[in-house]
Structure 1
């Protein structure tokens, strides 16, 4: 019976340590914080941002402020819908796009 109790105690200690390590990882790593922010952005309709689009010479073409959920792919474009439900697709092979998150 002592062997069984020792095995159970060892398993409980291993499970406790694993849960403690998982909590630390999920709480303190920047990767998880970014994923959580991305999830909240998807659920809440976006993050308040300031988007500026410049041409290849550095001249400001367009500027957007508001709450946006931004999608980007390897196809060289950034897609977002503004607060008026107008869709914007910016091909960044021909422009420079700067997206700043604004404070709450």
Structure 2
């Protein structure tokens, strides 16, 4: 699970500054749309049997997972959609 800064740093290091800037700008624009229409994202399918409070939207292959709290959107994590989300979640829970 990565922060936006970690993602952008990785892209800049492995691709280019322009690509990093474009990804950053597009992810920020995608998240800003959530503040206008917070329920636009789907419920995260891997955990929908347990809770419907976590939603997600995508930018290319990035999953932007968020929660709505008192009509406010809280971005929780941004992960590569090609990764095994259930495995990442399991690893995080084991560390608690």
Instruction: Answer whether TM exceeds 0.5 for this pair.
Output: no
When the two structures are superposed, what TM-score results if normalisation uses the length of structure 1? 0.29
- TM-score of the aligned structures, taking structure 2 as reference length: 0.31
> Hey, which of these two has a bigger chunk of strand by percent?
1
